[in-house]
Amino acid sequence: MTYRTLHLEFTGEIAMITLSRPEKRNAISPEMIAELLTAFDEVEASAARVLILTGAGNAFCSGMDLEALKKLASQSPAEQREDADRIARMCLRIWSFPKPTIAAVNGPAIAGGCGIATLCDFTMAVPEAKFGYPEVRIGFLPAVVSVFLIRQVGEKRARDLLLTGRTIDAAEAHRLGLVTQIVPEKELMIAAQILAATLLSSSPVSLHMTKKLLCDFAAPEIDRELALATAESARIRSTQDFREGLESFLEKRAPRWSGK
């Protein structure tokens, strides 16, 4: 398949997906989500046993695309729910992918981009990488990612990150457990390849069954919480604060919150 927002390549038993919208800092669009899901299907059906994800240019993924954001306020309730469901499908697919996944975070990973980076089994990052969920600062809701984040860092730390919307550096992300290894920029892809080779030395059946078991432990709660999260993600889009937050962000001004 020909992709427009990413590149997919295979080298032996290693597949690599590169988010490829460098002029947009690899921002997420509906097209990118659809292509990511298709690429994951292609990798699963292939002989590849390990998947590496990275970003083109100086960013891993800066979050939602501005053009996509502009459309959110004018969407119908059905369209808003469909959009929330689309994001949930992407996150669930990354989290539950049956083959080991490695994120090679080469720059900022913000909002949905942070989700893509940290939902992988392993997250390697350059020291300059930034992570964060700034949704509350624009009147939005970090609903879907909260389902997974609370399991990764614990409730207290998840509340800190999600309620403040602050951006953290790679060192703090590593301390919190969102990043598994910090690697100098020139060594990032080499380190990812070395880790992939380590994984390839193990039994394919054992790796598959181990990951399936880990996912199965949490799957019932994940499914229930994602249903709640997507409903709340769609609901907040009908609020005045959401519309004001979105407008102020696009207009690059301070928001004037109404609390409604």
Active site residue 135: yes
From residue 51, alpha-carbon distances to 101, 122, 234 in Å are: 5, 10, 31
The secondary structure of 190-244 as a DSSP string is: HHHHHHHHHHHTS-HHHHHHHHHHHHHHHHHHHHHHHHHHHHHHHHHTTSHHHHH
Summarised one tens digit per residue, pLDDT across range 126-176 is 999 999 999 999 999 999 999 999 999 999 999 999 999 999 999 999 999
pTM (2 d.p.): 0.96
Domain assignments of the chain as residue spans, ordered by start: 6-200
Residues 6+ positions from 138 with CB-CB distance below 8 Å = 245, 246, 248, 249, 255
pLDDT higher than threshold 90 for residue 54? yes
Question: Cα 245 from chain centroid?
Answer: 22
Write down the catalytic residue from 135, 185, 221, 247.
Answer: 135
Summarised one tens digit per residue, pLDDT across range 162-220 is 999 999 999 999 999 999 999 999 999 999 999 999 999 999 999 999 999 999 999 99
- Cα–Cα dist 62/200, whole Å: 31
| Whether CATH 3.90.226.10 fits 6-200 | yes
